[in-house]
Amino acid sequence: MTELDELYQEVILEHSKAPRNYRRPEATNRSAEGYNPLCGDRFTVFLDVEGDAIRDIGFQGSGCAISRASASMMTQSVKGKSKEEAARLFEEFHRLVTGGAKTPEERTILGKLAAFAGVSKFPVRVKCATLAWHTMQSALEGKQDVVSTE
């Protein structure tokens, strides 16, 4: 498989074309906006948080295939998780796309998100893959500023 095929895995292409949870949940009580000025990607992540639990999550906005698929798969991965689990997942995801988490064992926690391993061969695309995650983190922390990847 070429590096390009590894980057644009079938599951990533599929999510980029038909993103899941592309909506604003009715019970949204936290949200944040993320922006990558380099390429113009811009997403809003909406959360319905109760206590420590992420009851619902959605996103809207525009961006490249990697950022869109990443946002879509992130919403699936963190829905129903605790804030702490979501933070842990982001940590592992970040390790994956920056060239860490090389063994299958290390990737267990990531599940389907392991499809993003190919991003590590394209350092300029790491920001695309992590934009929605940074934005979610910001929403969880209740920050008001637009998250920028720059």
Partner 1 sequence: MTRLAHHPISEPLQEASAQEASAPSAGFPDIERIRRDFPILGQRVHGKRLVYLDNGATSQKPWAVIRAITRYYEQDNANIHRGVHTLSVRATEAHDAARRTVQSFLHAADAREMVFVRGATEAINLVAQSYGRAHVAAGDDVLITAMEHHSNIVPWQMLCEEKQARLRVAPINDRGELLMEEFERLIGPRTRIIAVTHVSNALGTVNPLRRIIHLAHQQNVPVLVDGAQAAPHLPVDVQALDCDFYVFSGHKVYGPTGIGALYGKAALLDSMPPYQGGGDMIRSVTFEKTTYNELPFKFEAGTPDIAGAVGLGAALEYVSELGMDYVAAHGQDLLTYATEAVGAIPGVRLIGTASQRAGVLSFVSDHVHPHDLGTILDREGVAIRTGHHCAQPVMDRFGIPATARASFAVYNTREDIDALVEGIAKAHEVFG
Residues that bind partner 1 (CB under 8 A): 2-4, 7-8, 13, 17, 37-42, 62-66, 122, 125, 128
Q: How far is the CB of 94 from partner 1 (least distance, A)?
A: 20
Torsional class of 53: left (φ above 0), alpha (ψ -120 to 50), beta (otherwise): beta
Torsional class of 122: left (φ above 0), alpha (ψ -120 to 50), beta (otherwise): beta
According to DSSP, residue 146 is labeled: P
Q: How far is the CB of 126 from partner 1 (least distance, A)?
A: 12
How far is it, in rounded angstroms, from Cα 13 to Cα 35? 21
Report whether 148 contacts 127 (CB < 8 A).
Answer: no
- Tell me whether residue 47 or residue 66 sits nearer to partner 1 (CB atom): 66
- Tell me whether residue 14 or residue 50 sits nearer to partner 1 (CB atom): 14
- Tell me whether residue 2 or residue 103 sits nearer to partner 1 (CB atom): 2
Q: How far is the CB of 48 from partner 1 (least distance, A)?
A: 27
Q: How far is the CB of 80 from partner 1 (least distance, A)?
A: 30
The candidate with the shortest Cα–Cα distance to 89, out of 108, 67, 64, 68, is 108
- Tell me whether residue 62 or residue 82 sits nearer to partner 1 (CB atom): 62
